[in-house]
Amino acid sequence: MSQLLDLVGIFVFALSGALMGVRKRLDVVGMMVLAGMTSLGGGVVRDLILNVRPAAFQSVGYVLVPVAATVIVFFWHPHVARVMPAILVLDAAGLGLFCAVGTEKALEYGLSPLHAALLGVVTAVGGGMLRDVLAGEIPTLLYDRQLYAVPAMLGSGAMAVVYSYGLHGWPATLSAAVLAFGLRIAAMRFKWRAPLARGVGE
C-alpha cells in the first residue's frame, strides 16, 4: 500500500513537471526531464544523503510512472490543465505523504528529529526546486507565498515528534501526512500567504 501511495504522489508531481515543460515550450525530452526531476528529485536527494540506494533505482515503476505522466500531458495537456484544481488537491496529498514518509525514513536511519524533519521537507519540495531551476524559474521555496513549504515543514515536524514518542507505523505517518495536506488545502482555499519582510509591499 505504501508503494502504491508513493507512485500516486510521483504521478501527480510528474504531471506538474510535464505541464511546466509545456508552458516553457520544451520538447518531449525536456518535458520528461522536468517530470522526472519533479517527481523523483526529492526522494533521490534524501536517499543520497542517507547513503542508501535511491528507491527510484530499485523499481521500474518509479521510472515508468513519470514517463506515463509525460505522455498524457504531451497529447492531452489542454485537458490536464482544465482539471488542475483536482490535480492540486492530489498534489497537496502527495506533499503530505512525501514529507511524512521522508521524515520517517530519515528517523529509521538514525538521524535526529530535527535533521529528519529537514530531510522530510527536502523529500517533499526538493523535486519542485530542481524543476524550477531547470526551467529558469526562481524556486517557489524561496518565495513561499502560497504556503507550500510551510505545510511540509509542519507535517515533517509532527512526524518527528510522534516518532520520538514511540508512535511508529502507518497511523503516525498518515496523521502527519493529513496535517500537511489539510494545511495546504486550507492555504489554497483561504489564500493564506507567508509574510514578507516588514515594509515590503505586496
Tens digits of per-residue pLDDT, 120-164? 999 999 998 899 899 998 887 777 667 888 999 999 999 999 999
Say what the pLDDT of residue 90 is: 78
Q: Is the pTM of this model over 0.85?
A: yes
Domains of the chain, residue spans:
2-190
pLDDT tens for the 202 residues of the chain, in order: 557 777 888 998 899 899 889 989 999 999 999 999 999 999 999 999 999 999 888 889 899 999 999 999 999 988 887 887 877 887 888 899 899 999 999 999 999 999 999 999 999 999 988 998 999 988 877 776 678 889 999 999 999 999 999 888 888 888 999 999 999 999 988 888 877 777 776 5
Rounded Cα gap, residues 48 and 158, in angstroms: 23
Rounded Cα gap, residues 107 and 80, in angstroms: 37
C-alpha cell at 14: 510528474
Contact 54/44 with Cβ under 8 angstroms? yes
Rounded Cα gap, residues 38 and 67, in angstroms: 12
